[in-house]
Amino acid sequence: KIGHSNTYVIGLASYGVSLLLNLFIVNAFQFYLTSILNGVSVTLFLIMLSPVLADCYDEIAVKLKKHHETTLIGIRNFFVRTSVVFQSFIIAIIHALTIYDPIDVSHQFDALVGLRIIQGLIPFIFCIVGALIFYKWFDLKSIKKQEVTSKLRELGL
């Protein structure tokens, strides 16, 4: 058993790599194959999200001696919603840089490159950086996790 955090990192990194394949799609078969890989890898990442968050919530409950899951979920949702704004800006900037004009077909190749960057390169970078940060600084593993669980039992939480 490799643990929640390592599985989470593997899932996030493999999702990033599968998204990078979007740069090279030229036909329907490649699209379907890439979509299957994206689905499998994002499933691995998302399945591990709940156990990892539960471990984090438990550690915070031990430190504060009280459960604060609803507050933490609200904070997480704020950052999730804020990321949508950043995504919109990134898409607008890339379309501006690639001179995207839906009416003018002479810039069709530039628009395609922009779409590939939006769907492949940028998500790859974010996933890999996120996986590396999580791998380096997430310390709720085996011994510390057992200590948190025992302290939760002692506190009756």
Q: What is the pLDDT of residue 15?
A: 96
């915070």: which residue's tokens?
60
Is residue 92 over pLDDT 80? Answer: yes
Residues 6 or more apart whose Cβ sits within 8 Å of residue 122: 90, 94
If phi over 0 gives left and psi between -120 and 50 gives alpha, with beta otherwise, what is residue 151? alpha
Q: What is the pLDDT of residue 19?
A: 96
Q: What integer is the mean pLDDT of 125-153?
A: 89
Alpha-carbon span 94 to 97, nearest angstrom: 5
If phi over 0 gives left and psi between -120 and 50 gives alpha, with beta otherwise, what is residue 156? left
- Structure confidence by residue, pLDDT tens digits, 27-80: 999 999 999 999 999 999 899 999 999 989 999 999 999 989 999 999 999 999
Instruction: Judge contact between 14 and 46, C-beta under 8 A.
Output: no
- Structure confidence by residue, pLDDT tens digits, 2-23: 888 889 999 999 999 999 999 9
Q: Chain-wide mean pLDDT for the chain?
A: 91
| Token reading at 68 | 């604060």
The percent of residues in the chain predicted with pLDDT above 70, rounded, is 100
> pLDDT band at residue 104, thresholds of 50, 70 and 90?
confident
Alpha-carbon span 97 to 74, nearest angstrom: 35
Q: What is the pLDDT of residue 125?
A: 96
